[in-house]
């Protein structure tokens, strides 16, 4: 068994909300790739317990999915066994005590929660009341607000958190969409970084020029005040 360095929650705690966008996208993509691999098996393997403790980093920084204790092969159209996984990462159909019925889309929902956690770098703040009654986007309103309206992961997250499992994307489609964000996001991020750097540089240049003008203007006054204070002879500068 391979020894891991840390899990996703430990990693995000260590980042202290300073995880840059390209890294957020890359980690999300690696998780999705792992899930896509599971779902492409014959029959598909449903993890059923994807959470921030079961996504781990190797000592080389490779993202890996672990803890397959809850995993099941999907030999029929749906799985119906018990409530799987951590409640905060589970979709409403898996938490229905009377008629629990789900398929691979359960993992997709969990991936959405993980991406939301990666984007906000905070543990899920989901309201545990109203499961299956209150829409998931409302139950997770605080996290979505923390993510922000312009975050690149917002749209994939919203798709994964659909209440109707049939409306959630397949892992392969999600992988394609997030890969496009990774490829385009790095370029956008670098452009933004260069823009911010140039803007800051121009601001500093402006401030330096302003300070030089102030020095030229204030120097005589400063000299007068200093001599007046030290020698007490204001008449010298009348």
- pLDDT digit string, tens, across residues 27-60: 999 999 999 999 999 999 999 899 999 999 999 9
Q: Bigger pLDDT: 53 or 93? A: 53
**CATH homologous superfamily for the domain 6-185:** Transferase(Phosphotransferase) domain 1 (1.10.510.10)
Q: Which has the higher per-residue pLDDT, 131 or 67?
A: 67
What band does 157 get if pLDDT is binned at 50, 70 and 90? Answer: very high
Catalytically annotated residues: 67
pLDDT at position 196 is 61
- Could you give the CA distance from residue 38 to residue 199 in angstroms, rounded to a whole number? 46
The DSSP letter of residue 11 is: H
Q: Long-range contact list for 66-70, CB < 8 A, 24+ apart?
A: 66/4
Q: Does residue 119 register a pLDDT over 70?
A: yes
Band (195; pLDDT cuts 50, 70, 90): low
Range from 87-101, 107-121, 163-177 carrying the lowest mean pLDDT: 87-101
Alpha helices in 98-170 (DSSP H): 105-120, 136-139, 141-147, 154-160
CB of 153 closer than 8 Å to CB of 118: yes
Q: What residue spans define the domains of the chain?
A: 6-185, 191-237
Structure confidence at residue 237 (pLDDT)? 29
């Amino acid at each position: 068994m391979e020894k891991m360095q840390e899990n996703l929650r430990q990693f995000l705690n260590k980042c202290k909300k300073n995880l840059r966008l390209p890294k957020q996208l890359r980690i999300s993509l690696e998780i999705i790739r792992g899930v896509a691999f599971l779902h492409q098996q014959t029959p598909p393997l449903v993890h059923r317990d994807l959470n921030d403790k079961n996504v781990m980093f190797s000592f080389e920084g490779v993202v890996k999915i672990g803890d397959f204790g809850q995993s099941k092969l999907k030999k029929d159209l749906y799985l119906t066994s018990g409530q799987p996984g951590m409640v905060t990462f589970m979709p409403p159909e898996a938490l229905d005590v009377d008629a629990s019925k789900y398929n691979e889309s359960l993992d997709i929902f969990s991936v959405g929660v993980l991406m939301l956690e990666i984007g906000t770098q905070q543990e899920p703040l989901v309201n545990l009341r109203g499961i299956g009654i209150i829409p998931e986007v409302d139950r997770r309103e605080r996290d979505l607000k923390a993510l922000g309206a312009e975050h690149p992961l917002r749209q994939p997250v919203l798709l994964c958190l659909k209440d109707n499992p049939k409306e959630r994307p397949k892992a392969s489609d999600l992988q394609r969409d997030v890969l496009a964000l990774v490829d385009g996001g790095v370029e956008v991020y670098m452009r933004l970084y260069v823009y911010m750097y140039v803007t800051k540089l121009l601001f500093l240049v402006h401030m330096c020029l302003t300070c030089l003008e102030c020095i030229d203007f204030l120097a005589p006054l400063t000299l007068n005040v200093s001599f007046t204070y030290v020698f007490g002879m204001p008449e010298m500068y009348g």
